[in-house]
Amino acid sequence: MAERRLTVAQVADTPRTLPARYLTPSDVAALLGVPIETVHQWRRKRTGPRGFRVGRHPRYDPDDVRAWVESLIEGAAA
């Protein structure tokens, strides 16, 4: 059976439980192997994974980061 992949829009519309832990910008940088400043630039330019703020602290949902990476992979395959 083929694996079903969701688009970013479908992930946003899919009901889900809260993750055990939201990712910090440092977590995202380490996960993707990029400098922390790159993650900050993505946030400023609104080109990276969807994030949100808890007070003044930016956080990322692991599912949103995964969907963003998958969208990049799909875009590269096209």
**CA 32 to CA 72: how far, in whole Å?**
12
Domain spans of the chain? Answer: 21-77
Q: pTM of the predicted model, to two decimals?
A: 0.74
pLDDT digits (tens, 9 = 90+) for 2-60: 555 556 555 556 666 778 899 999 999 999 999 999 999 999 999 999 999 999 999 99
The CATH number given to 21-77 is 1.10.10
pLDDT score of 23: 96
Query: CB pairs under 8 A, 24+ apart, for 5-8?
Result: 5/70, 5/74, 6/67, 7/67, 7/71, 8/50, 8/64, 8/67, 8/68, 8/71
Beta bridge partners of 47: none
